[in-house]
Amino acid sequence: MKDKDVPVFIEGETICLAVQNSEHIDLYAKWMNNPKVRVFARWEMPIRLEDIKRWFEPRKGRVHNFIVFEIWHNKDNKPIGSCGLAWIDWVSGWANAFLSIGEPEYWGQNIATETTEMLVEYAFNELNLHKLQGGAAVENIGSWSVAEKVGFKFNGIRKDEMYVDGKYYNVKTYGILKEDWMKRKKEID
Ligand SMILES: CC(C)(COP(=O)(O)OP(=O)(O)OC[C@H]1O[C@@H](n2cnc3c(N)ncnc32)[C@H](O)[C@@H]1OP(=O)(O)O)[C@@H](O)C(=O)NCCC(=O)NCCS
């Protein structure tokens, strides 16, 4: 185990997926309010520390359909972003994958690709989900490039899906089935 003050959930080479930490709420607020980071992440409203604190409060009757990880940089020994699975449908076995690197100096280093691979592996091999999906604005090239690099299939364009800075943007949608992921893994190995 590396020298970390947060519980590691899944070990990786450059990064690991760590459990979210209520002591890092300042950091989460910094990432989610940063104009550079939030522009295509659909965080159009200011997020207060109080809003984030509420994530950690127990709620009666809460359906467990959201899983969030901190992306922890192994060498630099610090959290740099977050990722997870949203709106998990446990019956049909699908979820939306999401990811955001909150520290822009870590962009363009293949980190989102490595993270997404770990997230997909977790979704299919630990949770036994059947399908993952995701989407990104056509202009958010980094985001949909990651989906394609990891093996997500292009499903289509949702026209005028996002309104950002006075303009509508089309969104590219992607999906990946567990069986295709397994086949792809066999080919790579
Ligand atoms: C989008 C984001 C997750 C990408 O993370 P990242 O770690 O930089 O991604 P990676 O380095 O793993 O891969 C990005 C790929 O896109 C490519 N890319 C990025 N911007 C590009 C551009 N303008 N033109 C062409 N290719 C581009 C990179 O070259 C890389 O591909 P390569 O490895 O073949 O060179 C990161 O920029 C981010 O967190 N942004 C803010 C939040 C956000 O938008 N989240 C997604 C919401 S849908």
Nearest to 174 by CA among 120, 128, 124: 120
Per-residue model confidence as pLDDT tens digits over 2-32: 555 678 999 999 999 999 999 999 999 999 9
Q: CATH no. for residue 125? A: 3.40.630.30
Q: Name the domain count of the chain.
A: 1
3 lies in a domain? no
Which of 141, 145, 164 has the most ligand 1 atoms within 8 A of CB, as the residue to mutate? 145
Contact 67, 85 (CB under 8 A): yes
Range of the domain at 126: 8-188
158-to-23, 97, 134, 135, 169 alpha-carbon distances in Å: 38, 17, 12, 9, 9
What pLDDT does residue 2 have?
52
CA of 117 to the centre of ligand 1 (A): 14
pTM: 0.95
2 lies in a domain? no
96-to-118, 133, 142 alpha-carbon distances in Å: 15, 5, 18
Contact 175, 132 (CB under 8 A): yes
Tokens 């959201």 correspond to what residue?
66
**Atom 20 of ligand 1 has which residue's CA nearest to it?**
142
What pLDDT does residue 58 have?
85
What pLDDT does residue 188 have?
85
What pLDDT does residue 12 have?
96
51 lies in a domain? yes
**Both structure tokens of 159:** 């026209």
Largest CA distance in the chain: 47
147 lies in a domain? yes
Show the ligand 1 pocket: residues with CB < 6 angstroms.
Answer: 37, 40-41, 99-101, 107-113, 136, 140-143, 145-146
1 lies in a domain? no
Q: Which residues of the chain have pLDDT under 50?
A: 1
CA of 112 to the centre of ligand 1 (A): 7
Nearest atom of ligand 1 to the alpha carbon of 134 = 48
**Both structure tokens of 75:** 């060498």
What pLDDT does residue 1 have?
43
Per-residue model confidence as pLDDT tens digits over 111-122: 999 999 999 999
**Atom 16 of ligand 1 has which residue's CA nearest to it?**
142
